[in-house]
């Protein structure tokens, strides 16, 4: 059995009944499970976490668009988070028994179906991107819904699928494939913010650190400590344990100890298995030795 995760972000976080209806539309699709969903009223945005195989997930995203288009109107939508459309972003994420290439194909098929059925222009992003200039979500979303009609007049911003102008109420959507994101923080036993900031600068990609780390140093003022707050964007290539070991070593250079670390939200089991493998110096350990993995493979 393949497991693909899908994390649609929708532009509604203030009307619980509308969000519930979106979730229900997805739950009505056999073979798709809703693992989690949460709404942020100040962002006026909700994030859903789904899992399933390719065909049911595609059907679920089409059901989500149908429901979202009936209930969300970007012309009257306001919130702190940047957004381009009613169903703003839809990443497909390979978890188990499935390749990134298959998730890219799923993203493309889903984008095509969304454009054809609903007349919403769709941009492909990240691994599914067909154009290096619009691989990053931030670049595609710049200008937001309000600037979209102007932006799309530029032929460079012709969508991958659908009409060359925004959908009147639903804007445009960004659909793609990416690795799982791990929100990972390391708390230091110090109140010295400069230490957290220097360590963050040392390990993040943008200033010379690991390829798949975004990091910043912040103060946890109520606790009197500081934190290296991170997103790990590819745990296979930049694994948790390596980040932990380097942060520990860099902290020691300032005479500071790691107090604890934390994983926020969901994490693929493989990221933790790789961590155990590293610290136990496991020899020739295979993922199908994990009982639960074998269980899924036997389905």
Binding range to its own copies, per CB under 8 A, among 7-15, 59-67, 230-238, 255-263: 255-263
Contact characters 110-149, its own copies, x per CB under 8 A: ----------------------------------------
Question: Segment 229-248, which members bind its own copies (CB under 8 A)?
Answer: 240-241, 244
Query: Of 4, 5, 91, 230, which one interacts with its own copies (CB under 8 A)?
Result: 5
Question: Segment 72-111, which members bind its own copies (CB under 8 A)?
Answer: 95-96
Residue 55 or 269: the one with the smaller Cβ distance to its own copies is 269
Residues in Cβ contact with 119 at an 8 Å cutoff, skipping those fewer than 6 apart: 162, 163, 167
CA-nearest of 167, 180, 164 to 72 is 167
| 23 contacts its own copies (rule: CB under 8 A) | no
CA distance 49 to 296: 20
| 275 contacts its own copies (rule: CB under 8 A) | yes
| 282 contacts its own copies (rule: CB under 8 A) | yes
CA distance 141 to 154: 15
Residue 158 or 218: the one with the smaller Cβ distance to its own copies is 218
* Residue spans of beta strands (DSSP E) within 76-204: 87-96, 122-126, 173-177, 182-188
Residue 49 or 71: the one with the smaller Cβ distance to its own copies is 49
How many C-beta atoms lie closer than 10 Å to residue 281's C-beta?
Answer: 6
Binding range to its own copies, per CB under 8 A, among 80-88, 105-113, 205-213, 290-298: 290-298
Binding range to its own copies, per CB under 8 A, among 6-14, 103-111, 153-161, 279-287: 279-287
CA distance 105 to 99: 10
Residue 170 or 226: the one with the smaller Cβ distance to its own copies is 226
CA distance 125 to 108: 10
Smallest distance from its own copies to CB 299, Å: 7
Tokens representing 87 are 């169903």
Sign of CA dihedral 201, 94, 158, 88: negative
| Residues identified as active-site | 81
| 254 contacts its own copies (rule: CB under 8 A) | no
Query: Of 34, 193, 216, 246, which one interacts with its own copies (CB under 8 A)?
Result: 34
Q: Is 184 helix (H, G, I), strand (E, B) or coil?
A: strand
| 165 contacts its own copies (rule: CB under 8 A) | no
| 30 contacts its own copies (rule: CB under 8 A) | no
Question: Segment 47-66, which members bind its own copies (CB under 8 A)?
Answer: 51
CA distance 285 to 274: 10
CA distance 77 to 62: 22
Burial class for 83, CB neighbours closer than 10 Å (0-12, 13-18, 19+): buried
| 268 contacts its own copies (rule: CB under 8 A) | yes
Is residue 18 within 8 Å of 12, Cβ to Cβ? yes
Residue 76 or 298: the one with the smaller Cβ distance to its own copies is 298
The binding site for its own copies (CB under 8 A) comprises 3, 5, 33-36, 51, 95-96, 180, 187, 240-241, 244, 258-263, 265-269, 272-273, 275-277, 279-285, 289-296, 298-299
């Amino acid at each position: 059995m393949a497991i693909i995760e899908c994390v649609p972000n929708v532009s509604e976080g203030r009307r619980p009944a509308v969000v519930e209806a979106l979730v229900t539309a997805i739950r009505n699709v056999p073979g798709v499970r809703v693992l989690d969903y949460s709404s942020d009223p100040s962002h006026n945005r909700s994030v859903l976490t789904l899992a399933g195989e390719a065909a049911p997930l595609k059907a679920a995203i089409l059901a989500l668009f149908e429901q979202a288009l009936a209930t969300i109107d970007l012309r009257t939508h306001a919130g702190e988070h940047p957004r381009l459309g009613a169903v703003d972003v839809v990443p497909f994420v390979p978890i188990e028994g499935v390749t990134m290439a298959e998730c890219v194909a799923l993203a493309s098929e889903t984008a095509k179906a969304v454009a054809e059925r609903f007349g919403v222009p769709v941009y492909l992003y990240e691994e599914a991107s067909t154009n290096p200039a619009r691989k990053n979500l931030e670049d595609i979303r710049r200008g937001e819904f309000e600037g979209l009609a102007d932006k799309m007049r530029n032929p460079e911003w012709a969508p991958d699928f659908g009409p060359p102008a925004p959908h009147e109420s639903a804007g445009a959507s960004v659909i793609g494939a990416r690795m799982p994101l791990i929100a990972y923080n390391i708390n230091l036993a110090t109140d010295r913010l400069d230490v957290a900031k220097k360590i963050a600068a040392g390990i993040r990609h943008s200033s010379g650190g690991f390829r798949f780390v975004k990091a910043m140093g912040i103060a946890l003022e109520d606790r009197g400590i500081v934190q290296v707050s991170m997103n790990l964007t590819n745990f296979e290539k930049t694994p948790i344990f390596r980040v932990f070991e380097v942060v520990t070593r860099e902290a020691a250079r300032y005479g500071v100890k790691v107090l604890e670390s934390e994983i926020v939200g969901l994490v693929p089991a493989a990221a933790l298995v790789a961590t155990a493998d590293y610290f136990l110096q496991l020899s020739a350990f295979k993922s199908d030795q994990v009982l639960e993995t074998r269980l899924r493979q036997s389905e």
